[in-house]
Amino acid sequence: MKFKYAPLIALATLILTTLACSLLNSSQALPEGTLFQDDFSDSSSGWDQNNTEEGITDYESSVYRIWVNTTETDIWANPGLNFTDTVIEVDATKVGGADDNDFGVICRYQDTNNFYFFIISSDGYYAIGKVLNGEYNLVGIDQMLPDESINLGSTSNHIKADCVGSHLVLHANGTQLADVEDTSFTSGDVGLLAGTFGEIGTDIHFDNFSVKQP
């Protein structure tokens, strides 16, 4: 069982409100019920693009890459949008680093100190959590828990997160892993997240990101 006590950091840049509005307006061409989607083939679609010694959040070869080069640290990225109730899905693949990691999606992101996160790990653990006023806590459990539905190692996982009212649900590869209630946040941005525990080098590629109406 695993839990991360170190503060999270964000490699994030603020993007203009006009860009966020243009992304939302493009939803007219999206399938019915889809609020936003991205296959990361267009590096101007609004996500953070940063490269530092601590880590990378950037587009790379039609995926979105998060690489974490410090221990006990999560790094995340956001497209600069705002939603209330959402169903978020993404495909995630570990391409480097230890299996003892964490990665997943974010919903109702207010700022670097306030948001929900839904994570799994390459050694088969999961959790739903939140950062509230800068404090990192899991919701409904004290530590990440194991589940055989999570694909191990470098095998891709399909992650799905429901943020509907106070209802937060995490799925991996079609199996429900966690179902909790929390009322801390009602709206905000979405995002992607990856992190380390005792070893540096977590390297996750994300693809086929979508945000849908519940």
Residue 89 lies in a domain: yes
Residue 2 lies in a domain: no
Find the CATH number of the domain harbouring 41. 2.60.120.560
Q: Are the C-beta atoms of 166 and 179 separated by less than 8 Å?
A: no
Structural domains of the chain, count: 1
More confident residue, 43 or 11: 43
Write down the pTM of the prediction.
0.90
Residue 166 lies in a domain: yes
Kindly state the helix (H) or strand (E) to which residue 53 belongs, with its residue range. Answer: none
Beta strands in the chain (DSSP E): 34-38, 50-51, 55-60, 63-68, 74-77, 86-96, 101-111, 114-120, 125-132, 135-138, 145-146, 157-164, 167-172, 175-181, 189-196, 202-212
Lowest-confidence segment of 7-11, 19-23, 171-175 by average pLDDT: 19-23
Contacts of 193 (CB under 8 A, 6+ apart): 66, 74, 75, 76, 77, 102, 103, 104, 105, 106, 117, 119
Tell me: the pLDDT tens digits for 193-214?
999 999 999 999 999 999 999 9
Residue 7 lies in a domain: no
Residue 81 lies in a domain: yes
In DSSP terms, 207 is beta-bridged to: 91
Radius of gyration, alpha carbons of the chain? 15
Residue 4 lies in a domain: no
In DSSP terms, 91 is beta-bridged to: 158, 207
Give the mean pLDDT of 20-28.
41
pLDDT, position 32: 93
Residue 138 lies in a domain: yes
* Structural domain for 182, as ranges: 17-212
Residue 11 lies in a domain: no
Tell me: the pLDDT tens digits for 29-46?
899 999 999 999 999 999
Tell me: the pLDDT tens digits for 107-138?
999 999 999 999 999 999 999 999 999 999 99
Give the mean pLDDT of 166-184.
98
For residue 188, which amino acid is it? G
